[in-house]
Amino acid sequence: MSAKSKSSFPAFSPAILTLNPCIDKCVYLPTPLTPGTIHRVDTSVEHIAGKGLNQALLLKNLGTAVDYYSFGSINPDDPADAYIESQHIAYHKIPTRAGIRVNLKIIDQNGIGTEINEKGGPVTQEEIDRILSSVAEHQGNILSVCGSIPQGVDKSVYKSVVSLAKKQGKITVLDADGDALKFGVQASPDYIKPNRRELAGLCHTTEQALADEMEVIRCAACICEQYGITVLCTMDEHGSLYVGKEGIFRVGIAKYPLRGFSGAGDTYLAAFLFARYAKNEDIPTALSFAARASAAKIALDGTELPTKEQIDAVPEVEVTRLK
């Protein structure tokens, strides 16, 4: 997407769609994780989560009104739905009998994270039609489409959603993996936010190959050139890269001890969108804010998300223009 002057940015009115919400259970081990053995858990925490909800809650923490579209329980007393409804976001829930999946996050003594994620679903065609019709009625200017696709839903669904949103004149953001990402990019969203593993799958290479920063840039530049997409690639302790028509930027990190990695990428993306479109910041400033937000998140347990005050307490992160 071409750069705009600050005065030409519209009001920030985001909608977020996630089709596969979850409960994140994060367990902390007092020992290294060793496959095939018994482990005793030191502590554990649970959070109602998912890529979309993480983004919505982070934007809420930053003082932004946001519309969140997702599946929920048919049980009117479901604690997950009750939690979301208590968070002062506009929750557009489509009830489903599939229930909510549970994702297990393990952080061992050495700070190494391991994820075991359930598939989610199956949802019915009627349920998916209802949620897509609901999000199509959103009157805002940004749509962020996030997360995996549950069983029962066509893998090309994000391509259709992004195509419709673009016809409505919205800024479109896609944060997905696998086939959902491969089909989704064909609709040319304005932004995608893969990590190196997700970018490797999209570019038919290996995550090991993308250990080389120049290979990350090459792959991201190919996506940008082919589809007109700005790529925000997060690379864990190696920072992140922005590859778009405006240029290529390397983003550093603020080093904080790892307490919870789940939601760090979601925090990064939501913080970038907030800084760029709600605060009208230039690209380097928005990227620095995103990196600071991600650092503040990993210092928190489980999928707990940072407040604005916690983000503001993180030192500035260096952003270098490479091209």
Over range 100-106, report the average pLDDT: 92
Question: Does residue 103 fall inside a structural domain?
Answer: yes
Percent of the chain with pLDDT over 70: 97
Q: How does the average pLDDT of the chain come out, rounded? A: 93
Asked if 48 contacts 84 with a C-beta cutoff of 8 angstroms, the reply is: yes
Question: Does residue 56 fall inside a structural domain?
Answer: yes
Question: Does residue 70 fall inside a structural domain?
Answer: yes
According to DSSP, the β-strands at 142-146 and 14-18 are parallel
Q: How many domains does the chain have?
A: 1
The 10s digit of each residue's pLDDT in 123-137 is 999 999 999 999 999
Q: Helix 125-136 crosses helix 157-167 at what angle (to 10 degrees)?
A: 20
| CATH, residue 149 | 3.40.1190.20
Does the pLDDT value for residue 195 go beyond 60?
yes
Does the pLDDT value for residue 9 go beyond 80?
no
The 10s digit of each residue's pLDDT in 47-85 is 888 999 999 999 999 999 999 999 998 888 888 899 999
Asked if 219 contacts 203 with a C-beta cutoff of 8 angstroms, the reply is: yes
Question: Does residue 135 fall inside a structural domain?
Answer: yes
Question: Does residue 316 fall inside a structural domain?
Answer: no
Q: Which of 130, 137, 4 is nearest to 67 (CA)?
A: 137
- DSSP H helices, the chain, are 51-61, 79-85, 125-136, 157-167, 178-184, 196-202, 213-227, 264-273, 283-298, 308-312
Over range 195-218, report the average pLDDT: 94
Enclosing domain of residue 125? 15-153
Q: Which of 2, 17, 59 is nearest to 290 (CA)?
A: 59
Question: Does residue 177 fall inside a structural domain?
Answer: no
Asked if 311 contacts 294 with a C-beta cutoff of 8 angstroms, the reply is: no
Question: Does residue 269 fall inside a structural domain?
Answer: no
Question: Does residue 274 fall inside a structural domain?
Answer: no
Residue 302 pLDDT class (50, 70, 90 cuts) = confident
pLDDT score, position 75: 87
Q: Residue 72 has which token pair?
A: 């929920």
Residue 250 pLDDT class (50, 70, 90 cuts) = very high
| Contacts (Cβ under 8 Å, ≥6 apart) of 241 | 213, 216, 217, 220, 231, 232, 233, 235, 248, 249, 250, 251
